[in-house]
A and B are shown apart, each in its own frame.
Chain A
Amino acid sequence: MSCQEFESVSTELARGSLLDAASRESAHAHAATCAPCAARLRRERALSSALREVGASMREMEAHARVEAALLARLRERRSVASTFEDIARVGAQAHARRDVNLSLFAPRLRRALFATAVAASLLLVSVLAWRAFTRKETTTTSVVPTVQGNHVEGDSSSQAIEQISSQDDPTTHDAATKDRVTQVHATDEVATTTKQRTPFDSVVRSSSRRRAEAPVAALPISFREDGGRVTPDDAGAISSTMNAGASELASSADFVPLVAPDNSAPLDGGQMVRVEVPRAALAALGLPVNASRTGASVKADVLLAHDGTARAIRLLP
């Protein structure tokens, strides 16, 4: 064996992994006669011994228990998710077997149901928060519970949407005849004040004002009064006469614009007022002056409804 051949097997020889007995004998014989190769073999053996010692010194080392805990937690989480999917698949398969559900539509339906539930929950939450905020405000401004012909108004969103502007003891109601007409509705000043407050529900009830107009409370006869100089109907008769007198006169006194149609020219002897959002385009169609550049937008308005539900007058709000 030459020195070059010895070098090629020296690593295996030192590690004890040279399996060929003939090569091993030959290498040992060369090392016995060649000092440099013998020194190389000693170094290689010393290195192998040192490396074994390093390996042995670390043999007891292992990962901390937290690693296993984290992995097991991950496994449980994965199993839980898999179990959920299996449950969904099983329920879907059972429903499919009963022909209750089209399996191909199962996932989209489930998504839609979840979405609808989330939207409903959000709306409910917003409503509750808004109602709580409103009732808190009401408690601080009035201690009188308003009633309308025995119906409890507090918390009734439909009654808040409809302005019940009447009071037997209203100091602004001076005319005796007017007082007689307004005795049909019993409420205090606080009632009027309270019910005239804008509520967070306005935007909600506006969209369904027509339906509420048919509700029992909304069907009550009401009259109107002046509200601290701000233009509001004083009473049904006054309004009716003013309306019948002409739009310009009404506009100067109450900002209510009559909606006169050939078939609704009967005197107004009561009714309801609802707050709505009216497209500017619709106002323009009625001949009311509107900003032409904003015909796509809406404006808030109070609409006076007669007992038969027809709109008799409108007042635009700022």
Chain B
Amino acid sequence: MRAAHEETDESLLRLARGGNESAFAALYGRRQAGLYRFALQMSGSKSVAEDVTQEVFMTLLNEEIRFDPSRGALSSYLYGVARNQVLRRLDKERNFVTLADEREEQTVCADERQRDARHDPLADLARNETVETVRQAVLALPVHYREVIVLCELQEMSYAEAALALQCAVGTVRSRLHRARALLCERLRAFDEGEESAGDYDAARCFA
């Protein structure tokens, strides 16, 4: 047997399903972080992300795995399973994810903050705020826009890979991404304007 890092995902999967623990560990080590981050970026919850990651790899151990190598790479299949798991959980917890309005109050335009950060001693803090703001804005997107943003932008997948994971056409991914970015930019700008007006109000109150 070759070293685990030289094996393809598919051969590691075959070995793992045969009971090879090191092959399973190698496959897990190779794919778990991306899947965990995808679930985290989609749900905003670490516990959900952990559950989803575990479920995805549990699926690989089940007898009725439906992975077909001729239809795409294993990684796309894993993201597809992860997506289904996330959507299932989001559907269950829909009533509990209603914090978007509160997040919007704190959101500022990303590029403005980055520009300020270059000249501000609190650059790191501002950058962290920017990152958090954008993350929350992504979480506030509708699911079908959110998933293309996460896959294509945060996970840096190609359109083709994302299309395989989402079980849709490449053109659909492209158009969704375009609309998702437009919506995200619009929201971030709206958040920024909202914060500026809130800042004016605070200043007026301070000087009153």
Contacts and interface: CB of A to CB of B under 8 A. Distances in A.
Interface of A: 8, 11, 15, 42-55, 57-59, 61-64, 66-68, 70-72, 74-76, 78-79, 82
A47 B110 CA distance: 7
Contacts of A51: 134, 138, 149, 153-154
A71 B181 contact: no
B21 A72 contact: yes
B58 A74 contact: yes
Contacts of B138: 51, 54
A47 B40 CA distance: 20
Given A50-B134, A53-B130, A61-B37, A75 B153 contact: no
Nearest to A10: B178
B181 A47 contact: yes
A260 B177 CA distance: 104
A55 B155 contact: yes
A67 B111 contact: no
A46 B111 contact: yes
Nearest to B34: A62
B53 to A, nearest CB: 4
Interface residues of B, number: 43
Interface string B63-75: 0000000000000
Interface string B8-30: 00000000100101001100100
B23 to A, nearest CB: 10
A42 B109 CA distance: 12
Contacts of B153: 15, 48, 51-52, 55
Nearest to A8: B178
B19 A55 contact: no
A78 B53 CA distance: 19
B53 A67 contact: yes
13 contacts: A50-B130, A51-B153, A53-B110, A57-B128, A63-B33, A63-B53, A67-B32, A67-B53, A67-B54, A68-B32, A71-B54, A71-B61, A74-B61
A54 B32 contact: no
B18 to A, nearest CB: 9
B114 interface: yes
B204 to A, nearest CB: 29
Given A50-B110, A72-B21, A79-B19, 17 more contacts: A43-B185, A46-B110, A47-B111, A47-B185, A49-B110, A51-B153, A51-B154, A55-B153, A58-B154, A62-B37, A63-B32, A63-B35, A64-B50, A71-B54, A75-B24, A79-B21, A82-B19
Contacts of B130: 50, 53
- Secondary structure of the A contact surface, majority rule: helix
Given A50-B111, A61-B33, A11 B21 contact: no
Contact of A75 (B19, B32, B40): B19
Contact of A68 (B28, B114, B149, B185): B28
A68 B25 contact: yes
Nearest to A72: B21
B154 A71 contact: no
A50 B149 contact: no
B103 interface: no
A311 B101 CA distance: 95
Contacts of B181: 11, 44, 47
B162 to A, nearest CB: 12
Contacts of B32: 62-63, 67-68
A193 to B, nearest CB: 66
Given A46-B114, A71-B54, A79-B19, A53 B36 contact: no
B174 to A, nearest CB: 8
B164 interface: no
B37 A58 contact: yes
B54 A47 contact: no
Residue of A43, A50, A71, A72 with most chain B CB atoms under a 10 A cut-off? A50
A68 B111 CA distance: 38
Contacts of B40: 58, 61
The 7 A-B pairs with the shortest beta carbon distances in the complex, nearest first, are A46-B111, A50-B110, A62-B33, A79-B19, A55-B154, A51-B153, A63-B36
Interface string B171-208: 00000011001001100110000000000000000000
